[in-house]
Amino acid sequence: MSIRDEVIAQMQRVAKQQSKRLAPLTDETPLLETGLDSLCLAILVASLDDELGLDPLSSETNTHFPSTVGEFIAVYEAAAADADV
Amino acid sequence: MIFVSEPLAKHHPEVQLRPTTFQGCFAQLHVPVSGTVSDAVVVMCPGIGRDGSTGHRPLRFLADQLALAGYRTLRFNYRGTGDSCDGDATLAAWQQNVHDAIDAALALDGARRVVLAGLRLGATLAAMVAAEQDAVAALILIEPVVRGRSFATQLRMEERLATKSEADAEGAVRVHGLQLPPEELAHIALLDLLTVDSDANRQILVLTTQHSEPMRQAQSAWQRQGAKVTQLVDESALAFLRPTHLADEPFPNLCPVVGWLSETCPARPLPVPEPVPRHRFDLAGPGWRETARMFGPAGNLFGMLCEPAVGLCNRILIFGNTGGDPHEGFARFGVELARHLARHGIASLRMDFAGLGDSIDASYDANAVTHTFMIDRRADFAAAIDLAESLGFRSIALHGLCSGAYHALQSAAADARVAALLCVNLPLFTIRYEKAGPASFARRSMETLSARGVRCGFIFADGDGGLVSLEQNFGSSGKDLAAYAGIECAIMPDIDHDLTRPEMRRRVADRIADFLAAVPTPTALADRPNFRGDTAKVPDARLHRNLATEGAL
């Protein structure tokens, strides 16, 4: 499964767990308009850490939180690429 | 040492709920009414933080189901959580609490074995403690935290994404009433279930919503050590994780969990033992003492009475749930408020509405659903006021946050015994559709309360959604409320809707204490018809009594 597919799958799983209605997702969809609230996003980041072994967003050096779905996926794709190097 | 109360009331038609304390921890012991019990006692290790709230209702339901199957079940709060005394928020402290709970369980008549059932980080703690305890016969792990790193990540992200954050000077993460310093968060991040040993032949049930690679690896590791691991991937586990305001969903089917325990850890039957008499007060701390109460016409309602540690007071604040959170409140605000008020000489009763927290629907229908707004809570408040009056309190105030404020308003408007009302972040005055105007419920209720001389306070966070309803009915910032005697409104710029941060909760608690201090109260305790104690020589409400003589903990 690609990083993109894993992120989308986890978004769907968290939405179901927290009984949220997930909006149609495109790269341009703002994260806070996906239907996921801040708790969901926190659970999502934790789930991706479990599934991918990647935690690019909670590091102290990362002060910018992505604002769209596309940016969010890109952060994880970049972290995966760094991990492969 | 464990102190168990007399059975207060039937919690389920066939199960009694016995409030219990040990080592500063508050617990509820679920015991079948009749028949036999097993020599194996289930100890439930709740989740930490938000998981503690989301799991409360389904764990209570699971505890009833286990008791019905003959397993006495002890649900407890770690120190510093729920109704327990304050304590350190550290892994070491939480593990010690689990050890203490096991000791308490084994102190019950005929108890020989323990089953640890844990949720999320509570499941991880259960597995860690089980590795050090021979008495643990089986483990039930519900959606366990396999890697502490991801749990720590979640806590950090929640704090980071929270609104109106004020960074802690020490760098601590402060979410859901927890305050975790960086070094403790680092300890949590190092947790790894793969490294937790399991005794050979130990029975382990893992209940999860989905398969995951980390969980698969942990199971393999335990199986290599000889443990017998069963994984149940079932959507019933979702019930333990859902937001608490979704309390209108039916209870999950947990029969497979109970069935698994009955097969793998069969009961060795004993007669249901008689309870041990308890001390009068369940818990006490600096300036406060608390007693669990079950009340209401059917004895189905639960509340925690908090009183000043010394002295007697004749005023009490009664408040119910916020949304679907149990009576301790979001981020434990209910507990913090109650103990803060006690230190200011004011008693309180924090209660669960029927169907929420530790109160069940009066019909004893385990599948009865509840709803944040749609169910009329006036009967629940009336029962709480009956209890307060029976205890001799003469000045009764109601309070609530969000939906709790909504129900407090409805009750205060309907019950002439209420002397004061304080609503925080009231989302709306009525759920019925009606136009604002002189005939609206909002206007009529204010007229009623003002005419009765009820002192009312409305506090809103700046920008709160409830300001829309306030403005519709009483103008911008509620300016029209000034026309009603005894009714005031304040908009606080430094709080949010949920009172997310500790400093927000402190500000509101101070505000509530100041508000209540200004409410006129009856002057002479001797006037109290049901006053507890000898009032003959009591000149005023500042009577002092030595708690030690009452055997408080």
pLDDT tens digits for range A37-70: 878 888 898 889 888 888 888 765 556 778 899 9
Please determine whether the domains at B2-147+191-266 and B283-421+502-527 fall in the same fold group of CATH.
Answer: yes
Contact B161 A38 (CB under 8 A): yes
**What value does the mean pLDDT take over residues B189-210?**
89
User: Could you tell me the CA-to-CA distances from B43 to B34, B257, B358, B417 in Å, in that order?
Assistant: 20, 14, 17, 41
- Give the separation between CA B341 and CA B517, rounded to whole angstroms: 10
pLDDT at position B17: 86
d(CA B82, nearest CA chain A) in Å: 21
Residue B524: burial class (beta carbons within 10 Å; 0-12, 13-18, 19+) = middle
| Residue among B87, B97, B88 nearest B183 (CA) | B88
Give me the pLDDT at residue B535, please: 34
At B313, list the tokens: 């007071």
Hey, where are the domains in chain A?
3-84
Question: Residue B344 to residues B14, B316, B398, B545, B553: CA-CA distances in angstroms?
Answer: 41, 12, 17, 16, 21
Q: Does residue B251 surpass a pLDDT of 50? A: yes
pLDDT bin (cut points 50, 70, 90) of residue B6 is very low
CB pairs under 8 A between A and B: 59
CB A19 to CB B157 under 8 A?
A: no
| φ and ψ of B162, to 5 deg | -65, 150
Average pLDDT over residues B126-144: 95
Q: Would the pLDDT of B484 be above 50?
A: yes
Residue with the larger pLDDT of the pair B515 and B11: B515
pLDDT at B3: 42
Q: Please tell me the distance from the alpha carbon of residue B44 to that of residue B119, in angstroms, as a whole number.
A: 8
The confidence score (pLDDT) of residue B546 equals: 26
Enter the pTM of the model. 0.86
Contact residues for A45 (Cβ-Cβ < 8 A; gap 6+) = A55, A57, A58, B153, B154, B157
Question: B463: which 2 tokens?
Answer: 């920008």
What pLDDT sits at residue B402? 96
Length of chain B: 553
Q: Domain A3-84, what architecture?
A: Orthogonal Bundle (1.10)
Nearest CB partner across the interface for B153, out of A17, A39, A46: A46
Q: Tens digit of pLDDT for each residue in A11-25? A: 999 998 888 899 999
In chain B, pLDDT over 70 holds for what percent of residues? 87
Query: Strand pairing of B2-4 and B228-233?
Result: unpaired
pLDDT in tens, B44-66: 999 999 899 999 989 999 999 99
Q: Under an 8 A CB cutoff, do A17 and B238 touch?
A: yes
| A41–B153 C-beta distance less than 8 A | no
Q: Specify the fold of B2-147+191-266.
A: Rossmann fold (3.40.50)
Distance CA B405, CA B403 (A): 5
What share of chain B in percent tops pLDDT 90? 63
Chain A closest-CA separation from residue B461 CA (Å)? 19
CATH fold of B283-421+502-527, please? Rossmann fold (3.40.50)
At residue B169 the predicted structure's pLDDT band, cuts being 50, 70 and 90, is low
On the question of pLDDT at B547 being above 80, the answer is no
In this complex, do B153 and A45 lie within 8 Å of one another by their Cβ atoms?
Answer: yes
> Where exactly are the structural domains of chain B?
2-147+191-266, 283-421+502-527
Query: CA B384 → CA B299, B315, B322, B390, B412, distances in Å?
Result: 11, 14, 16, 10, 12
Of the listed ranges B162-176, B452-466, B497-511, the least confidently predicted one is: B162-176
Please state whether beta strands B15-22 and B2-4 pair in parallel, antiparallel, or not at all (unpaired).
Answer: antiparallel
Q: How does the average pLDDT of chain B come out, rounded?
A: 86
Q: Please, are residues A64 and A72 in contact by the beta-carbon 8 Å criterion?
A: no
Distance CA B173, CA B180 (A): 5
| Partners of residue B157 in chain A, C-beta under 8 Å | 41-42, 45-46, 57-58
Residue B2 has pLDDT above 50, yes or no: no
Whether B115 and B136 have beta carbons less than 8 Å apart is answered as yes
Residues of chain A contacting B151 with CB distance shorter than 8 Å: 46
Q: Find, in chain B, the residue whose alpha carbon is nearest to that of A37.
A: B161
What integer pLDDT is reported at residue B551 of this predicted model? 28
Cα-Cα-Cα-Cα torsion B359, B364, B365, B366, nearest 10 degrees, comes to 50
- Contact between A65 and B161 using a beta-carbon 8 Å cutoff: yes
Exposed e or buried b for every residue in A21-54, given b needs 16+ CB within 10 A? ebeebeeebebeebbbebbbbbbbbbbbbbbbeb
Closest by Cα among B226, B218, B224 to B200: B226
CA B106 to chain centre: 25
Q: Using one digit for the tens of pLDDT, what is the confidence trace for B264-296?
A: 998 878 877 766 555 455 799 999 999 999 999
A17 touches chain B (CB under 8 A): yes
Do residues B412 and B449 touch, judged by C-beta distance below 8 A? Answer: yes
pLDDT for residue A50: 84
Are B141 and B44 in contact, with CB atoms under 8 Å apart? Answer: no
Output the CA–CA distances (angstroms, integers) from residue A1 to A13, A34, A51, in the order listed. 15, 22, 11
pLDDT at residue number B211: 83
Residue B97 has pLDDT above 80, yes or no: yes
**Between the CA of residue B334 and those of B173, B398, B520, what are the distances in Å?**
21, 13, 24
Which of B249-263, B367-381, B424-438 has the weakest average pLDDT? Answer: B367-381
**Helical residues (DSSP H) of B308-402, grouped into ranges:** 333-343, 378-390
Q: Which of B344, B221, B298, B282 is nearest to B77 (CA)?
A: B282
Tokens of B383: 């029962």
pLDDT range class, residue B156, cuts 50, 70, 90 = confident
Which of A13, A17, A51 faces B213 most closely, judged by CB atoms? Answer: A51
Three-state secondary-structure class, residue B405: helix
Give all strands (DSSP E) within B363-417, no chain letters. Answer: 395-401
Inter-chain contact A18–B157, Cβ cutoff 8 Å?
A: no
The pair phi, psi for residue A4, each rounded to 5°, is: -60, -50
Residues of A with Cβ-Cβ distance to B246 under 8 angstroms? 19
Helix (H), strand (E) at residue B64 = helix B56-68
B228 with B102: CB under 8 angstroms? no
Could you give the 3-state DSSP secondary structure of residue B383?
Answer: helix
Mean pLDDT to the nearest integer, B297-326: 92
In a 3-state reduction of DSSP, which class is residue B27? strand
Looking at per-residue confidence, does B282 or B356 come out higher? B356
B539, with CB counted inside 10 A (0-12, 13-18, 19+), is exposed
First to last CA, chain A: 19
Three-point CA angle B454, B460, B462, nearest 5°: 155
Mean pLDDT over B232-236 rounds to: 89
pLDDT in tens, B389-407: 999 999 999 999 999 999 9
Determine the residue among B142, B160, B498 to mutate to test chain A binding: the one whose Cβ has the most chain A Cβ atoms within 10 Å: B160
Question: Pick the residue with more confidence: B9 or B324?
Answer: B324
Mutation choice for B interface testing from A34, A44, A55 by most B CBs within 10 A:
A55
